[in-house]
Amino acid sequence: MALPRDYTDQACSLARSLEIIGERWTLLIVRDAFYGVRRFGDFAAHLRVPRAVLADRLKSLTAEGVLNRVPGEARWEEYELTAKGVALWPVVRGLIAWGDDNYAPAGPRRLFRHHDDDGELDAVGRCAVCGADVPVQDIAIVPGPGLPPQTPDQDPVTAALATPHRMLRPVHPAAANARPQPAC
């Protein structure tokens, strides 16, 4: 017997949450949104997700109020996390930490630090230097020991995240490349 596609017979909140974020690719899209990816083309290039699947997932996340569609520069439309979306960070961070502990023999690909004092954050977001519970917007994403070396053909988002980057700050490699140089 084929499994049903959803959990409509389940009343619990975990089942309801998995309806939203449990589909393949969805949580990776949400993670990228935390890292500052906002454009369709940047999600597609970084995740190498089929474009039709990406369009479907972005539509679902927008319909559920996890992402907002907002006008970007020029003709670019962008997606940004809503407050409801930002509230998913402990889930994403917890799964990253679990993967780091169990499936990352070379070490984490990304480290998370407190932007203000460079303190390392533990899996629940507490700073080793000042002890604060660091809010998402004050977290810096830093390359970790498990990050593969840079290659010339890597996508622009991977290139942008090769140096420390403040969480939720837009990564706009395409716009940065396209912007004309100021005359001087």
Binding site for Zn ion (CB under 5 A): 114, 117, 119, 127, 129-130
- Look up residue 45 and give its two tokens: 């290039």
Q: What are phi and psi of 172, to 5 degrees?
A: -125, 60
Residue 73 or 117 having the CB closest to Zn ion: 117
Minimum gap (Å) between residue 167 Cβ and Zn ion: 14
Minimum gap (Å) between residue 141 Cβ and Zn ion: 15
Residue 63 or 129 having the CB closest to Zn ion: 129
Minimum gap (Å) between residue 95 Cβ and Zn ion: 23
Residue 80 or 138 having the CB closest to Zn ion: 138
CA–CA dist 40, 63 (Å, integer): 16
CA–CA dist 18, 133 (Å, integer): 26
Minimum gap (Å) between residue 65 Cβ and Zn ion: 31
Structural contact between residues 32 and 161, judged by C-beta atoms closer than 8 angstroms: no
Structural contact between residues 133 and 125, judged by C-beta atoms closer than 8 angstroms: yes
Residue 9 or 133 having the CB closest to Zn ion: 133
Type of residue found at 9? D
